[in-house]
Chain A
């Protein structure tokens, strides 16, 4: 079984699966049970400044979208940071860390955007022996209205400033948690790096309304007839998170900055994908909230098996492996030509490929006598829609044309790599070197 031990910004954990700062990590009871279940680390639910505890709504704080069999696909929440007294959290953190020295324990923090507040909280957590801090610049609801959370995360200058304070007033490793509710995630990541962050973690939740009640005409979850946007997470957000992680992993200014990947990680495979795109570890919340702590067992066994199959001996061999293959559109090979082909033995004759291609794409699938569906290479642009809508895995595949083959659609011979930057139709094309 592969060794899953991970060292992330100097913090060691037996595996790369951490629980994200969220309801599951709000108290000692949960965190102990999470560790017992096998989680490699925990980011304790965000602590705020000393003072009267945070108040949450007393009606529903989560909303969801589901698949047909109530499979939870996306979750949103309007919960705030911890609503338990600071001293209780600190006492518990200290106790838990003492009992689980081999596990990672990072404390998430969110206090008002002034140096004194940060100085005070950092001092308060000093003797918990926690492994690091995560700055919550991400929560998009409630706290952001008070100038914290994503209100900070949306202004790169603030991120840099606060990160610098934290690094000045603490020797703890510092992770900056980024909000996806921005236009270009590279900017806040750059700011975090400039401020001295040891790592970034992303994504935090996305502004969302999960549904609208069509009888009461209020967004869900509804509190006494009204609703406020929440933060969206779960399997549905994974593609957005993967893209943002990859942007930071390959951006010249942020390349090499450690990333803790967050956003819809539900299985070992999701985790492996985040890691391949540059995440040194992953943080999980919705999957645990949906199925309980036990899911980590599948993540551990699955990632181990995969690494064994690939011959990877350490997670570091996986981390970032896909990053070189993430590129800009203008670098894609325009002379790479593929054609869809339908395996008639696997085809169940539902005709979805036909409907999709005929109605919405390139009219490149024939429906022949006896519901036989065939691709017309002379029209197929290889868009992949037929594969995406086909209910049978591997029934439709893409066959790459070999160099020298003629594309029946264009009549052109498949040539060597050439991208848009040199394409004759590009007014900005540079002459090929």
Chain B
């Protein structure tokens, strides 16, 4: 087996290649690197980075705490706003958030490396096994959280910290949601997602019931009846279809499934990958799937996105990373049909252009050789309970995640508003928890 072997096969690379390809992409700073990087922070007044952070971490403060040799204190500053600060330090598109508005990025094109500094701080504390918060006095209130992804975990932690009894229900065998089943492997290697969940649970007062989801042993009514409040953090489990002829051919897969399987694989040399892989989509999922296809040994990997580059939701850094590992990105091309007998062999695309009436195909087409096609054209809300108001395909919310049903909150990707980012999910989960706490304890505004 090698890169030129036709078809979808495992073991295209040498044994050492897998470990190298899937190693930590941005290893943690050592103490000296951290101090030098921290020294670049100007400790801005009313810092733009802090405003840009969806969880409003006090970035100048935590960087100063690193600079003075107290990364543990820095970590507490981070975790008090974002309990998943460890994962966010690894997966946040910082170049579109805090680092984009860093005054040094604006002035010299070189931001303070906030993400890596955050990881230095959070790792420093987490590897000591220290949980920096203690649970408040039990309130006797019970809250159900559906979904153990970033939003659910953040909500659960904040609720537990306030003294409430929390039960998290999750459909999958492991907690963590997309932290565990999404996200490119090289961004959070070495079982970080589970270690983070374990560490988060040290707050106490949180029970996790796995294998349970709405419509899968749970109903909203029963949850409401058994708890004082319910948080829905169910993410977007549906996957958009191509709606192109031949979509049903073998080896046409959902990118999210590919990524999840890869994350769970103990031995990556056993993962089958095509020689010619075509990824359709323009977001982070498309990039993660494409890059990892290359890292598994695919010879040719092409991302095809139907709009122009400026509309790709994958950040410029992500796109650059993709091209740096040899992924080709084609813009302005939409799939027309998937061609093959039994399994996919080719995909036909039509070039598109932005017209006043929307995206139109130009009539010109081309074909890409493909023995594997990955669909990454967006996820949709699936399994939302009846009776909830839906808005733009997501659960409608007002204020801090209040749904149209009293006593039910929604947070994360499933809730309307906000970007579908880990950090946004954490912010929404945390804020919903604060709102629930206020309303349960009679301080509702």
Q: Is B46 in contact with chain A by the CB < 8 A criterion?
A: yes
Interface residues of B in 44-76 (CB under 8 A from A): 44-48, 67
CA distance A350 to B43 in the complex (A): 8
What is A's interface to B at a CB cutoff of 8 Å? 67-70, 348-352, 354-355, 367, 371, 391-392
- Nearest chain-B residue to A354 (Cβ)? B45
CA distance A69 to B40 in the complex (A): 10
B48 to chain A, nearest CB (A): 7
Assess whether A351 is in contact with B44, with CB atoms less than 8 Å apart: yes
Chain A residues with CB under 8 Å of B67's CB are 68
Q: Is B1 in contact with chain A by the CB < 8 A criterion?
A: no
- Nearest chain-B residue to A67 (Cβ)? B39
Residues 18-44 of chain B, each 1 if its beta carbon lies under 8 Å from chain A, else 0 = 000000000000001001101100111
Assess whether A352 is in contact with B38, with CB atoms less than 8 Å apart: no
Assess whether A355 is in contact with B45, with CB atoms less than 8 Å apart: yes
Q: Is B103 in contact with chain A by the CB < 8 A criterion?
A: yes
Q: A69-B35, A70-B32, A367-B46 are in contact. List 4 more A-B contacts (CB 8 A).
A: A67-B39, A348-B107, A350-B103, A351-B47
Assess whether B43 is in contact with A352, with CB atoms less than 8 Å apart: yes
Assess whether A69 is in contact with B36, with CB atoms less than 8 Å apart: yes
Assess whether B36 is in contact with A349, with CB atoms less than 8 Å apart: no
Residue among A68, A349, A354 making CB contact with B106, cutoff 8 Å? A349
Assess whether B107 is in contact with A371, with CB atoms less than 8 Å apart: no
CA distance A349 to B42 in the complex (A): 11
CA distance A351 to B35 in the complex (A): 22
Known: A68-B67, A392-B107. A351 touches B36 (CB 8 A): no
CA distance A80 to B32 in the complex (A): 33
Chain A residues with CB under 8 Å of B32's CB are 70
Residues 73-107 of chain B, each 1 if its beta carbon lies under 8 Å from chain A, else 0 = 00000000000000000000000000000011011
Assess whether B35 is in contact with A391, with CB atoms less than 8 Å apart: no
CA distance A350 to B48 in the complex (A): 8
A309 to chain B, nearest CB (A): 28
Residues 243-274 of chain B, each 1 if its beta carbon lies under 8 Å from chain A, else 0 = 00000000000000000000000000000000
Chain A residues with CB under 8 Å of B45's CB are 350-352, 354-355, 367
CA distance A355 to B47 in the complex (A): 11
Assess whether B39 is in contact with A69, with CB atoms less than 8 Å apart: yes
Chain B residues with CB under 8 Å of A371's CB are 46, 48
Chain A residues with CB under 8 Å of B42's CB are 350, 352, 391
Q: Identify whether the interface residues of A are mostly helix, strand, loop, or mixed.
A: loop
- Nearest chain-A residue to B34 (Cβ)? A68
A sample of 13 cross-chain residue pairs with beta-carbon separation below 8 angstroms, ordered by A number, consists of A67-B39, A68-B39, A69-B35, A69-B39, A70-B32, A348-B106, A349-B48, A349-B103, A350-B42, A367-B45, A367-B46, A371-B46, A371-B48
Residue among B46, B106, B107 making CB contact with A351, cutoff 8 Å? B46
Pick the most buried of A67, A351, A367: most chain B CB atoms within 10 A of its CB: A351
Residue among B35, B44, B103 making CB contact with A68, cutoff 8 Å? B35
Residues 299-319 of chain B, each 1 if its beta carbon lies under 8 Å from chain A, else 0 = 000000000000000000000
- Nearest chain-B residue to A346 (Cβ)? B107
CA distance A349 to B46 in the complex (A): 10
Chain A residues with CB under 8 Å of B35's CB are 68-69
A368 to chain B, nearest CB (A): 12
Q: Which 7 A-B pairs have CB atoms at the shortest separation, nearest pair first?
A: A351-B45, A68-B39, A348-B107, A355-B45, A350-B44, A348-B103, A350-B42
CA distance A351 to B46 in the complex (A): 8
B171 to chain A, nearest CB (A): 45
CA distance A392 to B104 in the complex (A): 10
Interface residues of B in 100-132 (CB under 8 A from A): 103-104, 106-107
A326 to chain B, nearest CB (A): 33
CA distance A68 to B42 in the complex (A): 13
Chain B residues with CB under 8 Å of A351's CB are 44-47
Chain B residues with CB under 8 Å of A68's CB are 35-36, 38-39, 67
CA distance A369 to B39 in the complex (A): 28
B58 to chain A, nearest CB (A): 14
B102 to chain A, nearest CB (A): 10
CA distance A70 to B104 in the complex (A): 22
Chain B residues with CB under 8 Å of A354's CB are 45
- Nearest chain-A residue to B39 (Cβ)? A68
- Nearest chain-B residue to A70 (Cβ)? B32
Pick the most buried of B32, B67, B103: most chain A CB atoms within 10 A of its CB: B103
- Nearest chain-B residue to A390 (Cβ)? B42
CA distance A392 to B42 in the complex (A): 11
Chain B residues with CB under 8 Å of A70's CB are 32
Chain B residues with CB under 8 Å of A355's CB are 45
CA distance A392 to B36 in the complex (A): 19
CA distance A352 to B47 in the complex (A): 10
A185 to chain B, nearest CB (A): 35
CA distance A68 to B48 in the complex (A): 24
- Nearest chain-A residue to B42 (Cβ)? A350
CA distance A326 to B35 in the complex (A): 39
Chain A residues with CB under 8 Å of B106's CB are 348-349
Chain A residues with CB under 8 Å of B36's CB are 68-69
Chain A residues with CB under 8 Å of B48's CB are 349, 371
Assess whether B39 is in contact with A348, with CB atoms less than 8 Å apart: no
- Nearest chain-A residue to B41 (Cβ)? A350
CA distance A405 to B32 in the complex (A): 52
Chain B residues with CB under 8 Å of A391's CB are 42
CA distance A371 to B50 in the complex (A): 14
CA distance A371 to B45 in the complex (A): 10
CA distance A367 to B67 in the complex (A): 27
B59 to chain A, nearest CB (A): 13
A393 to chain B, nearest CB (A): 12
Residue among A69, A348, A367 making CB contact with B104, cutoff 8 Å? A348
Chain B residues with CB under 8 Å of A349's CB are 44, 48, 103, 106
CA distance A68 to B107 in the complex (A): 21
CA distance A69 to B36 in the complex (A): 5
B110 to chain A, nearest CB (A): 12
B15 to chain A, nearest CB (A): 39
CA distance A391 to B47 in the complex (A): 15
Assess whether A352 is in contact with B39, with CB atoms less than 8 Å apart: no
B6 to chain A, nearest CB (A): 53
Chain A residues with CB under 8 Å of B46's CB are 351, 367, 371
CA distance A126 to B43 in the complex (A): 60
- Nearest chain-A residue to B35 (Cβ)? A68
CA distance A354 to B32 in the complex (A): 31
Chain A residues with CB under 8 Å of B107's CB are 348, 392
Chain B residues with CB under 8 Å of A367's CB are 45-46
B22 to chain A, nearest CB (A): 32
A279 to chain B, nearest CB (A): 33
Chain B residues with CB under 8 Å of A67's CB are 39
